Structure formats: structure tokens, C-alpha cells
Amino acid sequence: MIIEKIKNSIDQIVWWLCWYFFVAALVHQFGFDWCLSFADSTVMLLLLLLTSCSTYFAFNKFQKTGNRFFVILWNIALSWISVFILGLVLRYIYVDDLKYLTFLDSSMVVRFTWFFIMNLLVTVIYGLQVNILEQKKLEAHNNEDANLMKDAELSGLRLQLQPHFLFNSLNSINALIGTEPAKARSMVLQLSEFLRGTLQRDNKKLISLQEEISHLKIYLEIEKVRFGHRLITQIEIPENCLNMMVPPLILQPIVENAIKFGLYDTTGQVTISLKVSCMESHLRIFVANPFDSDTAASQKGTGFGLDAVQRRLYLLYARNDLLKTEKENSIFITQIDIPQI
């Protein structure tokens, strides 16, 4: 910001100096020496600086009143006053130089026009700067509102996912209390640890994959208490992928969806696998579960879990192609791509 202000100041100084030497050179072309030419240019530039400051205040007045002709009338009045003062000053300095006084009288109309055009140009430039500044403020305000809305929606999506899992866990704990109180106690502790980790991650937009997997393993331990030996999990993650960043709690609803379609309506063992591959620019995660088309229809549900994940990915990365699903030889595969930005 400071560098930009310095650059703008230098640009303005160069602009005024260019006009200063241009006016002096123009007067010199009419046969006057450089000393007189620079004196003429100095008086004109000083008056123009004063009228430019007055134009600045006039523009502010125009902004408040909304009178479109106010600045134009003000510029005409300032130009006339500038020419009048210019004539008085230069006639007083060069009272004995008849040639110059004749030149001065004959150039008054041109000088008036020059003052008017320059003041009008200053008004236009200042007006553009004000409009650009207001536009930037409006864009910043709109972006802030959009970010607040996006954050609120992201928080809402996470909050909507938790009650579904919590309801299932509490039902399982209730079922275990009478028959297997030790397992119920263990599940309560695991559920408490899972929810504590969830609260700690609510204010983070991104966490490391290692942190996300650690949290997911707590969730899987809870599910293993529910389903016992029937649930088998396989997690394969290369070491170089563990430090890559992912949205918090992005894997839990996907794995929950895999467990739902893989274990419900079956009595045998089911393997849920999670595999990860990574490159410098993105992280790719695969979650696979067995899929039976004959029983899947009865477990279709609302599909909220995957829809919520896709919505979260869109809000974070502005892309709709980061979540894909496919069926391959009775295996349902969910693929997530996480850009590394």
C-alpha cells in the first residue's frame, strides 16, 4: 500500500513537471527568453494547483448535492478567476515589457480554455478514482458477505451430518447396555472422544490428512463396536501424502455411506477400503465397499451424505468435479480429489 502511494505521488509529480516545461517551451516559441517563459509557466501552474484543490472540494460538494452542472459552473468560474489573477500578476511583474503584455492580452482566451480543460480533466480523474475506490469497497463488502454465507453453510452442513451419526451411535449404546455393558461403556468413551475432536475442528477450513485419518479411525472403532467382526477396514496411505491438506470431517460421511450400503441387509463380513494417492497438485482418495443392487434400493435413503460432501467441496474449491462415484464388479467406489492450494 505504501509503495503504491509513493508510485502514485511520483506519477503526479512527473505529470505536473511535464506540463510545467511544456508551457514554458510554448511561451519560448513566441520569441521570449527562458527566464520569462518559466516565470509565465510557474504562475500558471501555481494557479492550476490552487484551482485543482478547489475542484476537489467542488466535486465533494457535487457528490452530496447530486447537481450535475455544479462542477462545470464551478470550473468556469475558477478558470475566469485564474485568468484574471494571472493577468494581474504578470502585468505587475512585466509592466515595462510591451511585447509580452501584448502577447499576454491576446492569449487570454486560450489561457481561459486551458484552465477550464485542465480543471475539467482533474475533475474527471478524481471522479474515476472515487468511483474505483467505492467499487473496490463494495466488492470487498460483497466478498465478505459471500464468505460469511459460505462459512455459515459449511458449518450448517457439518452440523447436519453429526445428528445422523450420533442417533445411530446412541441406539447402538442403548442396545449394548443390557447385554454387553463393557462394550457400551467403551463406545461411550469413543463417542465422547470423537465429538470432542469434531468440535475442535469446526473452526478450521483445512487440516492435514494425518489428522483427518486419526479422527476417522476413532469413528471406525465406534462402528466396529456396533458391527463387531463383520466390519473389516483397510487403509492404505503413502507416507508422503500424510501432510497434505483436506477439509475436516470430509471422509466420515463417505465412509459412513460405504458402511451403510456394505453392511446393511447382510450378515457376513464386509471390507471397507480406503486408498490414497497424491501428486504435488492434488490428493486423490478412494473409498470402496461391496454393493448389492438387489438390496441397495431399499437402503437408498436421502443421499444427503455424499450430496453434503460435494456441496462442501464446491464451496471450498468452486468445482463440481471433485467427487465421483462408480460401480465396478459389485464394488461401489467413491473418489475424492482434493486440490492442494
pLDDT score at 133: 77
Q: What is the pLDDT of residue 259?
A: 86
* C-beta separation of 43 from 55 below 8 A: no
Residue 141's pLDDT is 67
If one counts every other C-beta atom within 10 angstroms of the C-beta of residue 3, the result is 7
CATH 3.30.565.10 maps onto the chain at: 206-339
User: What is the DSSP pairing of strand 245-246 with strand 282-290?
Assistant: unpaired
Instruction: Give residue 4's pLDDT.
Output: 65
Count how many Cα atoms sit within 13 Å of the Cα of residue 235 in the half-sphere of its side chain. Answer: 15
pLDDT digits (tens, 9 = 90+) for 12-42: 778 778 878 888 888 888 888 898 889 888 8
Radius of gyration for the chain, computed over Cα atoms and rounded to the nearest angstrom: 38
Phi, psi of 203 (to 5 degrees): -95, 10
**In terms of pTM, does the model score above 0.75?**
no
* Residue ranges of the chain whose pLDDT lies below 50: 297-298, 300-302
End-to-end CA distance of the chain: 25
CATH number of 206-339: 3.30.565.10
Which residues contact residue 272 at a Cβ distance below 8 angstroms, ignoring those fewer than 6 apart? 231, 232, 233, 234, 255, 258, 259, 262, 287, 288, 289
For position 295, what pLDDT does the model report? 57
Which amino acid, 111? R
Residues shown for the chain: 341
Sign of CA pseudo-dihedral 183, 185, 188, 190: negative
Q: What pLDDT, on a 0 to 100 scale, did the predictor assign at position 129?
A: 74
Q: Return the DSSP state at 56.
A: H
pLDDT at res. 298: 46
